């Protein structure tokens, strides 16, 4: 199984230290990297790069943010991806998600978290610049995954599709919710991958108007809850 990584960044000729560390790590893993800058849409960027790569059906593709650090042994990291994606019916894998998506379409909903429905963990940076671990729950199967890191076999991606739905106005938001719930609705099993990963983000994009518009559109076009069967 070959692994490719598709990553959007603002300026490929002037990347941050975090992005540079990410690219170095993926290179050590033997993963081929497609770094995209100047894209007008994450949907178009992912779709265009995927079609250009044209991976074999059993190859893996990673879609991830440029502001993450993966703190794994390279060989172990590749084995984790390979082992999970080779399980029967696997759809997307990622480090954080939930088994129960309510009609607010916000996967990290605090009440659902308190009910023990979330899975995975991610380290974050607080406003003071200190790291802390956000533990959502033990690894397992989920209905939806966060888009900071997603991976799937090329065969799965071709079946799910990377096109932006017509009802989304925003070009950069809710792609993760859309792709992973679509995979789930098609009968794929989305799974949590247990990674030591740092997300150098404080979630500012959630306050952006296009995020709210895409969320509202997603809500109008889906029935809730979207959940694993008990």
Paired with 173 in beta bridges are none
Q: Has this prediction a pTM greater than 0.85? A: yes
Q: What is the mean pLDDT of the chain?
A: 95
Q: CATH assignment of 3-227, given 3.40.50.1010, 2.50.20.10, 3.90.550.10, 3.40.50.2300?
A: 3.90.550.10
pLDDT band (50, 70, 90) for residue 207: low
Task: Tell whether the model's pLDDT for residue 203 goes beyond 70.
Answer: no
8 Å CB contact between 116 and 173: no
Task: Tell whether the model's pLDDT for residue 228 goes beyond 90.
Answer: yes
Determine the pLDDT at residue 190.
98
96's tokens: 């954080």
Within 10 A of 8 (CB to CB), how many other CB atoms are there?
A: 21
Determine the pLDDT at residue 127.
80
Helices (H), 145-193: 154-160, 175-185
Task: Tell whether the model's pLDDT for residue 202 goes beyond 60.
Answer: no
pLDDT band (50, 70, 90) for residue 205: low
71's tokens: 């703190």
Q: pLDDT per residue over 20-42, tens digit each?
A: 999 999 999 999 999 999 899 99
> What is the signed CA dihedral for 153, 158, 162, 165, rounded to 10 degrees?
-130
What are the sequence ranges of the domains in the chain? 3-227
Determine the pLDDT at residue 162.
98
DSSP element (H, E) containing 42: helix 42-53
Q: What distance in Å separates the CA atoms of residue 41 and residue 46, rounded to the nearest whole number?
A: 9
Measured CA distances, 190 to 96, 99, 115, 209, 214 (Å):
11, 10, 20, 28, 22
Q: What percent of the chain has pLDDT over 90?
A: 89
What mean pLDDT is predicted for residues 167-187? 97
3-state secondary structure 10-32: CCCCCCCHHHHHHHHHHHHCCCE
Measured CA distances, 48 to 35, 63, 74, 132, 215 (Å):
12, 13, 27, 35, 24
Q: pLDDT per residue over 116-172, tens digit each?
A: 999 999 999 888 888 999 999 999 999 999 999 999 999 999 999 999 999 999 999
Determine the pLDDT at residue 206.
54
Q: Judge residue 43's burial from the number of C-beta atoms within 10 Å of its C-beta, 0-12 exposed, 13-18 middle, 19 or more buried.
A: buried
Task: Tell whether the model's pLDDT for residue 51 goes beyond 90.
Answer: yes
Q: What distance in Å separates the CA atoms of residue 127 and residue 124, rounded to the nearest whole number?
A: 10
What mean pLDDT is predicted for residues 61-71? 97
């Amino acid at each position: 199984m070959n692994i490719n990584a598709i990553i959007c960044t603002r300026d490929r000729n002037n990347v941050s230290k975090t992005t540079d560390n990410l690219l170095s790590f993926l290179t050590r893993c033997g993963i081929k990297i497609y770094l995209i800058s100047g894209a007008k849409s994450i949907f178009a960027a992912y779709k265009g790069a995927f079609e250009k790569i044209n991976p074999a059906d059993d190859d893996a593709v990673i879609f991830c943010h440029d502001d993450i650090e993966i703190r794994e042994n390279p060989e172990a990291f590749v084995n984790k991806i390979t082992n999970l994606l080779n399980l029967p019916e696997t759809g997307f894998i990622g480090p954080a998600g939930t088994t129960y998506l309510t009609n607010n379409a916000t996967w990290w909903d605090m009440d659902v978290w308190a009910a023990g429905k979330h899975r995975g963990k991610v380290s974050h940076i607080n406003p003071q610049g200190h790291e802390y671990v956000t533990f959502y729950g033990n690894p397992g199967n989920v209905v939806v995954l966060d888009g900071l890191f997603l991976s799937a076999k090329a065969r799965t991606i071709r079946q799910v599709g990377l096109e932006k739905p017509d009802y989304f106005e925003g070009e950069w938001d809710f792609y993760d919710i859309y792709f992973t719930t679509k995979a789930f609705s098609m009968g794929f099993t989305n799974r949590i991958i247990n990674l030591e990963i740092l997300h150098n983000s404080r979630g500012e994009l959630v306050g952006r108007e296009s995020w709210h518009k895409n969320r509202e559109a997603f809500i109008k076009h889906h029935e809730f809850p979207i959940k694993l069967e008990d």
